[in-house]
Chain A
Amino acid sequence: MMQSKNEMKLSFDARSVNEGFARVAVAAFITELNPTLDEVADVKTAVSEAVTNAIIHGYDDPCEKVELVCRIEGNQVEIAVTDTGKGIPDVAKAMEPFYTTKPELERSGMGFAFIEAFMDEVQVTSEVDRGTRVWMRKRIGAQEG
């Protein structure tokens, strides 16, 4: 039985080019759990959604920072994506599929739905003008039973 324990923290500018960086960094970090390709893709998609939300909705200034913490504990991976930006006035509403505050940017409103679909557990905490934290967890190896 694997008993890994490992943690890393990234802090990066709220620039769209870092969306790819963040998901690739997390994918590399979790390789020690021997995830399937599908599990890696699920985690990458979820990270991409959370980081994109922080960049688009959290901040106007791309010099502001997005923080990502990734922790491995046993066969679980936990990821927290945090911004100190605008915050979400109504988290429940924001998590409804197809809800978006930026239809002009052709945001699909599917971001949180994707995170929920691809991770086992998701928690979103937010405070207006203080920022937003998206915490998510997935068990790796679940597909093999």
Chain B
Amino acid sequence: MEQYCEREGNCLRVRVPKELDHHEAGRLKLEADMMIDAYHVKTLIFDFGETEFMDSSGIGVLIGRSKKMGYYGGEVYAQNLNGRVQKIFRVSGLHALIQTDMPKGE
């Protein structure tokens, strides 16, 4: 049973945990990669609806999965970012790499 992932066809939704740090990153990566490989995922959605904390370890997770999806010609989205996660995306430049529902022009 998956802890983080929900799949519908070849679309995978990753429910990012409340806190995404180095401690949580390992398990999330393993599960997401297993699902991406097993089900030929074409669309990967990181859902940050529950997420209150993310540090640079989380950036590593997102960049790694984006690269992987790039090899497969898939697309990556990040949704439901709260203000804090948006700040982390901006500071790291991640919003240029991953499509988000963040307000534009900032």
Residues of A within 8 A of B (CB): 16-17, 19-20, 23, 38, 41, 44-45, 48-49, 52, 55-56, 105-111, 113-114, 117-118
A52 B59 Cβ-Cβ under 8 A? no
In the complex, chain A residues whose CB is within 8 Å of the CB of B64: 106
Which residues of B does A touch, CB under 8 Å? 19, 21-23, 25-26, 29, 53, 55-57, 59-61, 63-64, 83-84, 87-88, 91-92
Contacts of B57 in A (CB 8 A): 48, 52, 107-108
20 CB < 8 A contacts A-B: A16-B21, A20-B19, A20-B21, A38-B83, A38-B84, A41-B84, A45-B53, A45-B55, A45-B88, A48-B55, A49-B55, A49-B56, A52-B57, A105-B60, A106-B25, A106-B29, A111-B56, A113-B91, A113-B92, A114-B56
Across the interface, do B56 and A16 meet the contact criterion of CB distance under 8 Å? Answer: no
Question: How many contacting A-B pairs (Cβ < 8 A)?
Answer: 66
**How many Å lie between the Cα of A67 and that of B83 in the bound state?**
31
Separation of A107 and B57 alpha carbons in the complex (Å): 6
Nearest-Cβ distance from residue B61 to partner chain A, whole angstroms: 7
Most buried by A among B55, B83, B84, B92: B55
For the complex, what is the distance from the CA of A45 to the CA of B84, rounded to whole Å?
10
How distant is the Cα of A113 from the Cα of B92 in the complex, in angstroms? 9
User: Who on chain B is nearest to A116 by CB?
Assistant: B91
Asked if residues B22 and A19 are in contact (CB atoms below 8 Å), the reply is yes
